[in-house]
Homo-oligomer: A and B are copies of this chain.
Amino acid sequence: MDTAGKHWLIEYHGCDASTLNDEPHIRQSLCDAAVASGATIVTKVFHRFSPQGVTGVVVVEESHLSIHTWPESGYAAVDFFTCGDCLPERAHEVLRVALNSTHADVLQVDRGQGGPGQSVVVHEVRTETPAPMLRRTPTEHTSWNQATG
Contact = CB atoms under 8 A, between A and B. Distances in A.
Contact of A45 (B45, B79, B149): B45
Interface residues of A, number: 51
Given A115-B13, A125-B122, A63 B72 contact: no
A36 interface: no
Interface stretch (A24-32, A104-112, A138-146): A104-112
A55 B66 CA distance: 14
A9 interface: yes
Contacts of A117: 103, 105, 127, 149
A75 B122 contact: no
Question: Does more than half of chain A's interface fall in helix, strand or loop, or is it mixed?
Answer: strand
A127 B104 CA distance: 29
B47 A59 contact: yes
A77 interface: yes
B120 A125 contact: yes
A59 B45 contact: yes
Contacts of A3: 70, 73, 75, 77
6 smallest CB-CB distances across A and B, nearest first, come from A103-B116, A11-B119, A117-B127, A13-B116, A105-B120, A57-B57
Interface of A: 1, 3, 5, 7, 9, 11, 13-14, 42-45, 47, 49, 53, 55, 57, 59, 61, 63-64, 66, 68, 70, 72-73, 75, 77, 79, 81, 83, 102-107, 109, 111-112, 115-120, 122, 125, 127, 129, 149
